[in-house]
Amino acid sequence: MTDNTMAARSASLATPVASASASASSLTDSANSTTFAIILSLSFCHLLNDMMQSLVPALYPILKDNYALSFSQVGLITLAFQFTASMLQPVVGMYTDRKPQPYSLMVGMGFTLVGLLMMSHAHSYPVILLSAALIGMGSSVFHPEASRVARMAAGGRYGLAQSLFQVGGNLGSASGPLLAAFIVVPRGQESLVYFSGAALIAMIVLFQVGNWYRARRATMARPAARKGAAGVAAGGHGLSKGRVFFAVTILIVLLFSKNVYQASLGSYYTFYLMQKFGLSVQAAQFYLFSFLIGIVLGTLMGGWVGDRIGRIPVMWFSILGALPFALILPHANLFWTAVLAVTVAMIMASAFPAILVYAQELLPGRVGLVAGMFFGFSFGLGGLGAAALGKLADWTSIETVYQVTPFLLCLGLLTAFLPKHPGRPMHLL
């Protein structure tokens, strides 16, 4: 009788333990599974968002002719657009780290919509600058939180998730020149209003993503609360704060070298082709499209390869590997200019997913801040670079810009000072 009672008590005690273990295992399996539907939805919305934004630089030749703008004024439009994104993205990311806002994604898309509608009806240079700034604000809200949700849905495949998310944006950016060639250039500035439907579609999709985000956070809150009792460590990398700060500084310098050079291609490539080879605006837009497709392919490969061989080898290859091709480009004919530009784009674009995921591993628990900071610096450094390079082009020539900027890629040598892989924290949300 006593043995039976003890057995019954043991079974009753074992049942909740087994149940808790099964529940924890189920939650772990759920956390480790990659939710591609959410990642692809975010990538699709990123495509629409950046497609609308890419119409602004694709519109530069029209704005330059219609308003008699100098290269410096064109660069200031890029600065207005990218500076607001640069300044606000880390702030948004820091805030949402503490108080996540599932439906802020939809709000960010609304800012982009308003800016685009204003741009389509702008009739003065100050209104153009304000419209560009509003579009930048849309990016500042959308990117940090969308990057966080992509990481939540990654199931440990962080590089792949970030590259898939980023590829959507790259495809959107690449579609801008084609849309400009077929719609904006023939119909003029007012045709931007036609793209408001894309923003509305994205807002509907992001509302559904926000519902998943809210439910996911509620699910994850319970196992997170049990972590301390279960004795599960967060998986820190063991680096000192000073070492982390030094590594983050190097990553920012790498972004600087990459983005300033990329700004010389992204903002002034059409002008370079038109001036050096006598191409029409529409023909130059097709060459810009091929360059942007190179960015898409490079971004996708960078995330996939980084998950397999590590982030640092990808950084080495993406910055220094582009240097010889960038040095040759200013001396090539039209055919080889196009080939070299696409090659440089593919190699350099592989850096961003590797840099972003590496930074998130350096700063566990700061996913929003890291995403906001690095997306923000990516926009901001590109904007500052575009403005400075526009001034240089006014003083000298577009060709001089393409002869000087490749030497910035030598800063990729700083990769040698990064610590080895900082580890893969189990929970960075």
Cα 297 from Cα 300, distance rounded (Å): 5
DSSP string, 314-327: HHHHHHHTTHHHHH
Confidence of residue 249 (pLDDT cuts 50, 70, 90): confident
Task: Quote the pTM value.
Answer: 0.66
pLDDT at 25: 44
* 166 contacts 101 by C-beta, under 8 angstroms: no
- pLDDT > 50? residue 15: no
* 273 contacts 374 by C-beta, under 8 angstroms: no
pLDDT at 34: 61
Of 379, 290, 375, the residue nearest 337 (C-alpha): 290
Residue predicted with more confidence, 332 or 34: 332
- pLDDT > 80? residue 423: no
Eight-state DSSP code of residue 184: I
**Residue 118: its H or E element:** helix 104-121
| Nearby residues of 143 by Cβ (< 8 Å), 6 or more positions away | 85, 89, 108, 371, 372, 375, 376
Domain annotation covers residue 331: yes
- Residue positions counted in the chain: 429
pLDDT at 57: 75
Of 57, 187, 56, the residue nearest 115 (C-alpha): 56
pLDDT at 18: 45
Confidence of residue 237 (pLDDT cuts 50, 70, 90): low
Letter string b/e over residues 8-39, b meaning 16 or more CB atoms within 10 A of that residue's CB: eeeeeeeeeeeeeeeeeeebeeebeebbbebb
Domain annotation covers residue 7: no
| Residue 106 CA: distances (Å) to CA of 199, 237, 284, 342 | 9, 35, 34, 33
pLDDT at 202: 92
63: CATH: 1.20.1250.20
Half-sphere CA count of 146, side-chain side, radius 13 A:
36
Distance from chain centroid for Cα 335: 30
Over residues 332-340, the mean pLDDT reads 92
Please write the tens of the pLDDT for every residue from 196-223: 888 889 989 999 998 998 888 767 654 4
Of 406, 111, 422, the residue nearest 247 (C-alpha): 422
Cα 423 from Cα 236, distance rounded (Å): 7
How high does pLDDT run on average in the chain? 77
- pLDDT > 60? residue 110: yes
- pLDDT > 70? residue 157: yes
Domain annotation covers residue 353: yes
Please write the tens of the pLDDT for every residue from 55-89: 777 778 778 888 888 888 888 887 888 777 777 78
Domain annotation covers residue 425: no
* 402 contacts 264 by C-beta, under 8 angstroms: yes
pLDDT at 411: 81
Cα 122 from Cα 115, distance rounded (Å): 10
* 91 contacts 398 by C-beta, under 8 angstroms: no
* 170 contacts 56 by C-beta, under 8 angstroms: no
Confidence of residue 12 (pLDDT cuts 50, 70, 90): very low
Letter string b/e over residues 237-259, b meaning 16 or more CB atoms within 10 A of that residue's CB: beeeeeebeebbebbbbbbbbbb
Lowest mean pLDDT among 224-238, 253-267, 268-282: 224-238
Domain annotation covers residue 20: no
Domain annotation covers residue 180: yes
Cα 129 from Cα 295, distance rounded (Å): 27
Confidence of residue 339 (pLDDT cuts 50, 70, 90): very high
- pLDDT > 90? residue 377: no
Radius of gyration of the CA atoms of the chain, in A: 24
What residue type is 19 in one-letter code? S
What are the backbone angles phi and psi of residue 152, rounded to the nearest 5°? -60, -35
Cα 85 from Cα 78, distance rounded (Å): 11
* 262 contacts 346 by C-beta, under 8 angstroms: no
pLDDT at 115: 87
Q: Which domain holds residue 186?
A: 35-220+238-417
Confidence of residue 333 (pLDDT cuts 50, 70, 90): very high
Please write the tens of the pLDDT for every residue from 272-292: 888 889 888 778 878 888 888
Domain count, the chain: 1
Domain annotation covers residue 9: no
Domain annotation covers residue 25: no
Lowest mean pLDDT among 10-19, 115-124, 344-353, 403-412: 10-19
Confidence of residue 31 (pLDDT cuts 50, 70, 90): very low
Confidence of residue 44 (pLDDT cuts 50, 70, 90): very high
Residue predicted with more confidence, 59 or 339: 339
